[in-house]
């Protein structure tokens, strides 16, 4: 297979095509839900910032508390059936919101409970999605497959918000939940066409849930090729989230007299550069996951450092380009490193552990940065955060340099 036709070769992988289609449909549903739940919350609570925060927490806390258990289920149960079950349960939850609203029975408390339920189902199904890919795609196509899935996700998150205006030409805003429910039903249909038979794992069959979690944490601790990307990614998210979502709007408004238009440009540049980077990495002829991860963290840090040291609109736009490249590089290579090095019976639990760390970092960053802004100049926070990520890239390079073991694959699982 030539690298030139690497993406085209994925068209021959029937199960991967249905997994990709299901992913696209699910991302559309999740994006529509996450956007509309904000506006319905403001409608129900008269634009209460506190209630908006509660709704946001309802979409993150379940991942923090129960994320690793989703990995336990993914490694113990049939991954395909678990994804399908979550699709089936998510459909009525999404449909119930507009029904309750139309009958004037939708309260904020009910909305929060339904949001938690929808998030829990995503929390349980996500590890199965990540860990099923190495079972339905040949090893030599994993890089291209992950890159394409990452591109699908990033592309949908860019274009779905833009398409909402089109949907609203034909329906009231509340029915964005109905559209999300329809896309969830289509996701269920796509997942049903995946051919997958799990391979029994003696280790997992004989392990209790608590023992399996302890085994996973011990494995992560003793394998730098797993722990370094996992902790490195969580650190990047911890530093970046608050700066990007709180610090940058304040910087634009207070120091540069810029409005939401400038912020939207920065978001657009970041999203587009991350999408292009994912596609390019998937088709690259020379690809070193560890080296690419380190470079991604370094570029991420450079982008934040530039914003802090040279707070100018043009610099911010260029820095957004670097941030997009860095985020895509570290995110994609982290997934590939996990899939290439982990035993099958640990795949789901490690992915869910990484996801839980990421969500915890995201939430804690949003709590910390607003407090720091009151005592530290915003530009100083960007400079300090960027410097930390650059140092992190150097330390990761030194740590991973010692890890030279070849990647082993279980022939039975190929």
Read off the pLDDT of residues 102-160 as tens digits, 9 standing for 90 and up: 999 999 999 999 999 999 999 889 888 888 888 888 878 888 888 888 888 888 877 88
The confidence band for 412, taking pLDDT boundaries of 50, 70 and 90, is: very low
Cα 341 from Cα 112, distance rounded (Å): 38
- Can you spell out the DSSP letters for 269-314? HHHHHHHHHHHHHHT-SS--HHHHHHHHHHHHHHHHHHHHHS--HH
Residue 3 has pLDDT above 60, yes or no: no
Q: What percent of the chain has pLDDT over 90?
A: 37
The confidence band for 323, taking pLDDT boundaries of 50, 70 and 90, is: very high
Tell whether the model's pLDDT for residue 51 goes beyond 90.
no
Cα distances (Å, whole numbers) of residue 322 to 69, 273, 301, 354: 35, 8, 9, 24
406 pLDDT band, cuts 50/70/90, is very low
The residue among 258, 330, 268, 331 whose CA lies nearest residue 299 is: 330
Of 35-49, 63-77, 222-236, 338-352, where does the model show the most confidence?
A: 222-236
pLDDT class of 407 with cuts at 50, 70, 90: very low
pLDDT at residue number 260: 64
Judge contact between 151 and 337, C-beta under 8 A: no
Q: Distance (Å, rounded) from C-alpha 7 to C-alpha 134?
A: 16
Confidence band of 411 (pLDDT split at 50, 70, 90)? very low
pLDDT computed for residue 200 by the predictor: 56
pLDDT at 94: 96
* Residues shown for the chain: 414
- Asked whether the beta carbons of 230 and 334 are under 8 A apart, the reply is yes
What distance, in Å, lies between the first and last C-alpha atoms of the chain? 18
Q: What is the pLDDT of residue 210?
A: 75
Look at residue 338 and tell me whether its pLDDT is greater than 90: no
Give me Rg for the CA atoms of the chain.
21
pLDDT tens-digit series, residues 287-315: 788 899 999 999 999 999 999 999 999 99
Q: Is the pLDDT of residue 52 over 80?
A: no
Helix axes 14-45, 176-192, angle to 10 degrees: 160
């Amino acid at each position: 297979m030539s690298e030139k036709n690497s993406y085209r070769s994925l068209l021959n992988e029937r199960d991967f095509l249905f997994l990709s289609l299901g992913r696209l449909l699910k991302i559309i549903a999740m994006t529509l839900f996450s956007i509309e739940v904000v506006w319905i919350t403001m409608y129900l609570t008269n634009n209460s910032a506190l209630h908006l925060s509660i709704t946001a927490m309802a979409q993150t806390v379940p991942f923090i508390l129960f994320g690793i258990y989703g990995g336990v289920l993914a490694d113990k149960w049939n991954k395909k059936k678990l994804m399908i079950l979550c699709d089936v349960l998510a459909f009525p939850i999404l449909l119930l919101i507009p029904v309750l609203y139309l009958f004037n029975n939708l309260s904020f408390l009910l909305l929060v409970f339904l949001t938690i339920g929808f998030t829990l189902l995503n929390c349980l199904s996500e590890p199965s999605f990540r860990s099923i890919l190495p079972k339905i795609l040949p090893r030599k196509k994993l890089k291209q497959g992950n890159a394409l899935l990452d591109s699908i996700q990033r592309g949908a998150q860019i274009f779905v918000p833009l398409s909402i205006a089109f949907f609203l030409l034909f329906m009231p805003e509340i029915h964005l939940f109905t559209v999300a429910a329809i896309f969830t039903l289509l996701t269920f249909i796509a997942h049903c066409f995946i051919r997958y038979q799990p391979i029994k794992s003696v280790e997992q069959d004989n392990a209790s849930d608590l023992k399996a979690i302890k085994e996973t944490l011990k494995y992560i601790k003793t394998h730098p090729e797993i722990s370094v990307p996992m902790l490195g990614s969580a650190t990047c998210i911890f530093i970046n989230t608050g700066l990007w979502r709180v610090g940058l709007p304040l910087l634009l408004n207070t120091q540069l007299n810029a409005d939401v238009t400038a912020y939207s440009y920065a978001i657009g540049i970041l999203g587009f550069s991350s999408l292009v980077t994912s596609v390019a990495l998937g088709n690259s002829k020379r690809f070193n996951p560890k080296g690419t991860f380190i470079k991604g963290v370094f570029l991420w840090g450079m982008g934040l450092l530039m914003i802090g040291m040279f707070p100018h609109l043009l610099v911010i736009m260029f820095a957004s380009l670097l941030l997009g490249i860095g985020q895509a590089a570290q995110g994609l290579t982290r997934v590939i490193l996990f899939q290439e090095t982990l035993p099958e019976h640990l795949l789901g639990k490690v992915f869910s552990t990484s996801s839980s760390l990421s969500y915890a970092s995201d939430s804690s960053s949003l709590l910390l940065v607003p407090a720091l802004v009151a005592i530290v100049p915003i530009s100083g926070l960007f400079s300090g955060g960027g410097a930390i990520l650059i140092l992190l890239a150097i330390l990761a390079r030194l740590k991973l340099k010692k890890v030279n073991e070849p990647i082993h694959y279980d022939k039975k699982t190929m």
